[in-house]
């Protein structure tokens, strides 16, 4: 049975349709979840998509984290549900404290939209469980504030726990330890700056995004079965 995945839409999100299309391409049933919705019980997994929630005003994700839906997302995550934050979604997860650290402005102080190569460095997450460590994937980035930071103690901890799931092969934005994707300690909440939904079709350049989404959906099916 296909996994039932909710894609949260904040005011200003703009990648939700692309993410829904990508999830369906990967075999899921996707539905859009408005940011005022507080009931996620029918879902097997939740995705926070990219875009500019609240115009990125104040800080990216700073206002979206207070949306009514985020209480439900927190409960869903605490119960072990798989949660994926893509780009702006990753920013919302860090602002909400569901992932450690923060995303700050790119080192070059410019927006960057370009292909990127990332390496899977840990399979201890719902995003990478089905992918062999060391595999490199071609998945584009599109952001102004994608540089990951955290303090020394946190860095030590996330390295030790295998929470750093994706690293850039060539750091495009000054991210600490080349971090492109990160999981929480339990591995069920993952954030990444690259956009897997933009790599699902040869016509558009790469299909490596399907590898990531496929792994995520496998984890979702597994979580439901559990």
Partner 1 sequence: MTSSVLRTEQVDGVQRAEMGPGPFHRRLGLTDDELDRITLLLGRSPNELELSLYAVMWSEHCSYKSSRLHLRRLPTSGERVLVGPGENAGVIDAGDGIAVAVRIESHNHPSAIEPHQGAATGVGGILRDVFTMGARPLAVLDPLFFGPLGDARQRWLFEGVVSGISSYGNSVGVPTLGGELTFDPCFAGNPLVNVLCVGALPIERLALGRASGPGNLVVLLGSTTGRDGIGGVSVLASAGFSGADTTDLDTAKRPSVQVGDPFEEKRLIEACLELLDAGLVVGIQDLGGAGLACATSETASRGGVGMEIDVAAVPRREPDMTAWEVMTSESQERMLAIVTPKDWPEVEGVCRRWDVRATVIGAVAEGGPDGGRLRIRDGNGPAGGRDGATLGKDDVLADVPASSLADAAPLYDRPMAIPSDLGARRADDPTLDEPRGDCTAELLSLLCDPSWVWRQYDHQLFLNTVVGPGADAALLRLAGPGLPNSERGIAVTTDSAPRWCAIDPRHGTALVLAEAVSNLACVGASPVAVVNCLNFGNPEHPEVMWQLSETIDGLADACRALGLPVVGGNVSLYNESGGVDIDPTPVLGVLGLVERLRRRPPGTGLVDGTEILLVGPRRHHRSADPGGLPLAGTRWAVECRARRGGVLPEPELDAHRRVARLVAALVGEQVAGGNALLDSVHDVSGGGIAVALAEMAVAGCVGASLEGLDGHAELFTELPSRFLVATRRAGDLLERATTAGVAAAVLGTAGGDRLVVDGLVDLALERLQDRWNRSLEGQLVDN
Partner 2 sequence: MRFAARVEVRLRPGIADPEGATIERALPALGFDDVHGVRAGRAFRFELDAGDVAEARRRAEDLAHRLLANPVIEDSTVDVDRADV
Extract the tokens encoding 37. 């919705």
Q: Is 95 a catalytic residue?
A: no
Q: Which is nearer to partner 2, 42 or 109 (CB)?
A: 109
Q: Which of 55, 133, 151, 204 binds partner 2 (CB under 8 A)?
A: 151
Specify whether 197 is catalytic: yes
Catalytic residue (choose from 35, 54, 143, 195): 195
How would you class 138 by CB atoms within 10 Å of its CB: exposed for 0-12, middle for 13-18, buried for 19 or more?
middle
Asked if 109 touches partner 2 (CB under 8 A), the answer is: yes
Binding flag, residue 112, partner 2 (CB under 8 A): no
Q: Which helix (H) or strand (E) holds 214?
A: helix 208-225
Shortest Cβ distance from residue 44 to partner 2 (Å)?
30
Using CA atoms, how far apart are residues 110 and 196, in angstroms rounded to an integer? 22
Instruction: Decide: 57 and 21 in contact? Cβ < 8 Å.
Output: no
Question: Is 4 one of the binding residues for partner 2 (CB under 8 A)?
Answer: no
Which residue among the candidates 16, 54, 87, 143 is catalytic per the annotation?
87
How big is the site for partner 2, counted in residues (CB under 8 A)?
A: 20
Q: Give the DSSP letter of residue 24.
A: H
Q: Are 24 and 30 in contact (CB under 8 A)?
A: yes
Active site amino acids: 87, 195, 197
């Amino acid at each position: 049975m296909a996994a039932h995945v909710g894609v949260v839409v904040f005011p200003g999100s703009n990648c939700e349709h692309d993410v829904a299309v990508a999830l369906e391409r990967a075999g899921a049933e996707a539905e859009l979840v408005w940011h005022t919705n507080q009931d996620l019980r029918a879902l097997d997994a939740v995705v926070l998509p990219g875009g500019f929630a609240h115009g990125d005003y104040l800080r990216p994700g700073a206002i979206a984290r207070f949306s009514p839906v985020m209480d439900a997302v927190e409960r869903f995550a605490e119960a072990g549900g798989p949660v994926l934050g893509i780009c702006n979604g990753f920013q919302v997860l860090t602002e909400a404290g569901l992932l450690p650290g923060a995303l700050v402005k790119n080192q070059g102080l410019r927006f960057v939209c370009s292909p990127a190569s990332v390496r899977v460095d840990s399979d201890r997450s719902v995003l990478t469980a089905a992918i062999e460590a060391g595999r490199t994937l071609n998945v584009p980035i599109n952001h102004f504030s994608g540089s990951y930071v955290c303090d020394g103690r946190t860095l030590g901890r996330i390295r030790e726990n295998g929470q750093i799931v994706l690293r850039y092969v060539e750091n495009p934005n000054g991210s600490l330890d080349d971090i492109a994707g990160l999981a929480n300690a339990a591995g069920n909440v993952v954030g990444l700056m690259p956009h897997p939904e933009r790599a699902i079709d040869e016509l558009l350049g790469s299909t490596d995004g399907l590898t990531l989404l496929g792994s995520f959906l496998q984890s979702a099916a597994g979580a439901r079965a559990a």
